Amino acid sequence: MRAVMSSNSLAVNLHSSPLANETIRRLDRTVAALHRTKKIALGTPVKLGVDLGTASVILVALTADNRPVACEMQECQIARDGLVVDYFGAIQIVKRLADKIRKRLGTPVEFAAIAVPPGTSGGNSSTHRHVAEAAGLEVTAVLDEPTAANAVLGVVNGVVVDIGGGTTGLTVFEDSQVVYTADEATGGTHMNLVLMGRFALTFEEAERFKVDPAHRDEVKQAVRPVAEKMATIVANHLGNRSVGEVWLAGGTAGLDGIEAVFADRLGVPVHKPPHPMMVTPLGIAMNVAIDGGKSC
C-alpha cells in the first residue's frame, strides 16, 4: 500500500533502537528468501502458516528450524471482520495454495497453524481450524494474530497491533508474556468504504485507488480519520497502562505514514517493519508443531 499520511508533532525514528534495526533487517532477509523457492529434500518437515485475512489468504512455509522456503497468496473476500463468511471458498483457496507450495518444494506439507483475531473463541475460532483441516492440513496450533506476529517481532515489553482488512487487534506484552488482548472491527475495509463514498467508486476500485501513488494526497485526506480511529482503539484499550513501544503489523499497516498517526495518539515510539502484511503469517508458521512436538 502507498497511501500517505504524515505527522510532524512526534518524530518516529525506527533507527533509534539497535533491536528494532535488527528486527527490520531480519524480516527483510526472510521475505526475500520466501521468493527464492527451491526444491528441498523429499521428506523434509515443513511448517505451514495459514492466515485467513479479510482481504487475502496467505500461506507461508518454513522448515523445522524456521528457514523460509515458500509463500503463496490470493486476494479474496472469504472473511469479514476477522470471521470466515465463505467457508467453502476458503477451503478451496487454502487447498489450492497448499498444493502449489507442495509442488514448488517437491515434498509433502502436512502440518499447519492458524491465527484468529484476539478474543475470538468457540465456533468462530473452530471455523478457521476446520477450513485448514478440510483443505487436508493437520492443525497443531491456534493463536491470536498479534501473538503470532510477536514470534517474528520479539517484543518483550510493549504492544503489537495487527491491522488487517477488517479488524484492529492488539496484544500487550510484559516480560514477553501476554497480559492483555483486544480486537475491534475497524480495518482497511473501512478505509475502502470511505473512499467509495468520497469518490463514487466500487469496492474494487477503491482498493486500487488506495494503493495508487497518483492519488496519495486524496487518500491521505480521506482515510486519516479511519487511521486515527484505529489509534484511538488502541489508546482506549491501553488506558493508563505504561508501554515502552508499539509495533504495527498486518496489511493495512502498510499505509505510508500510519505509524506517525499512532505515535501522535499514543505518545510512544511506534515501529512499522518492512512487509507488515507478512509478519503475522510468518509468526503463525513459526508456531507449528511437527509430529506432536512443541511449536518453535
pLDDT of residue 190: 93
Instruction: Determine what percent of the chain is predicted with pLDDT higher than 70.
Output: 89
pLDDT in tens, 225-236: 999 999 999 999
pLDDT of residue 1: 35
pLDDT of residue 256: 81
pTM, whole model, 2 decimals? 0.84
pLDDT band (50, 70, 90) for residue 76: confident
pLDDT of residue 18: 57
Q: Poorest-confidence range of 37-41, 72-76, 262-266?
A: 37-41
pLDDT in tens, 274-293: 889 999 999 999 999 986 44
Q: Poorest-confidence range of 77-86, 141-150, 170-179, 186-195?
A: 77-86
pLDDT of residue 14: 42
pLDDT in tens, 151-196: 999 999 999 999 988 889 999 999 999 999 998 989 999 999 999 9
120 pLDDT higher than 50 = yes
Q: Taking residues 34-49, what's their average pLDDT?
A: 86
Nearest partner of 25 among 150, 145, 151, 152, judged by Cα: 152
pLDDT of residue 3: 38
Return the residue matching grid coordinates 463468511: 85
Domains 27-147+279-286 and 155-276 agree in fold: yes
Taking the domains of the chain in order of start, what are their residue ranges?
27-147+279-286, 155-276
17 pLDDT higher than 60 = no
pLDDT band (50, 70, 90) for residue 248: very high
pLDDT band (50, 70, 90) for residue 296: very low
Contacts of residue 285, Cβ cutoff 8 Å, sequence gap at least 6: 47, 48, 49, 60, 61, 62, 66, 113
pLDDT of residue 121: 61
What is the CATH code of the structural domain delimited by 155-276?
Answer: 3.30.420.40
Look at 117 and 156; give whichever has higher pLDDT.
156
pLDDT band (50, 70, 90) for residue 12: very low
Domain 27-147+279-286 has CATH 3.30.420.40: yes
pLDDT of residue 8: 35
Mean pLDDT of the chain: 86
Look at 134 and 5; give whichever has higher pLDDT.
134
